[in-house]
Amino acid sequence: MRRKIVAGNWKMNKDFDEAETLIDDVVKGLEEEEVDCDVVICPPFPYLELATDGAADSELFEVGAQNVSSFDSGAYTGEVSAAMLASLDVNFCIIGHSERRKYFNEDNATLAVKVEKVLANEIVPIYCVGETLEEREANRHFDVIRRQVEEGLFGLDAADFENVVIAYEPVWAIGTGKTATPEQAEEIHAFIRSLVKEKYGDDIANEIHILYGGSCNAKNASALFAQPDIDGGLIGGASLKAEDFVSICRQAK
């Protein structure tokens, strides 16, 4: 049975003191609660070392970055490479979040390069896919998801693909308070798993983790996580409140 993963994406929030407090509060909560999942905290770049120090001290969570450069090194001002992340003991990296696709024009080809960069540095990519409201209403959501998965991930060999986590985030449910119903989310998760099965076979399809990310919160997490193909969550706003985030982690069984 796949062990669930709950990853908190802080996005561009918190100053240093607030970040330190939030990490401390999450650790306290995880110490007090019965949590049986893998927990990942993805803070902004300036707080990665703070987070990895906290992870090393508590051994209760791992750390992820929110983005990575498609370049290895050089004259790329403002960029952060996969090797830099690895040197900070970062274990995961979110790639292709809908906000990166929308605001920074990241396409599947660029994201495929980023996936390769983090895998080469032994970092697990959390590769995000998802459709807009317009695409869903036009009944194109399956085509959109298929293209994102195939173009972003299916260039990998089986050995590398085994180390990928996929996150389905319906764009229409991010930051809107709307959430896909458990049945809607399960339908897409099962579809993604079927694509993996077609490409890589039963064994890898049964092992790959597919997370849900779209206004998942302490109130709806249990119903979402109960679905057979949903292996945890990529949590946005609810990860900024320790009590809510720990509650979600507790429900991931």
Active site residues: 97, 169
List b or e across 66-94, with b for residues whose CB sees 16 or more CB atoms inside 10 angstroms: bbbbbeeeeeeeeebbbbbbbeebbbbbb
Distance of CA 52 to the CA centre of its chain: 17
Instruction: Give the H/E segment covering residue 65.
Output: strand 62-65
The stretches of 126-215 forming alpha helices (DSSP H) are: 133-137, 141-153, 158-161, 182-200, 202-207
Q: Is 15 exposed, middle or buried (0-12, 13-18, 19+ CB in 10 A)?
A: exposed
Q: How far apart are alpha carbons 14 and 157 in whole angstroms?
A: 38
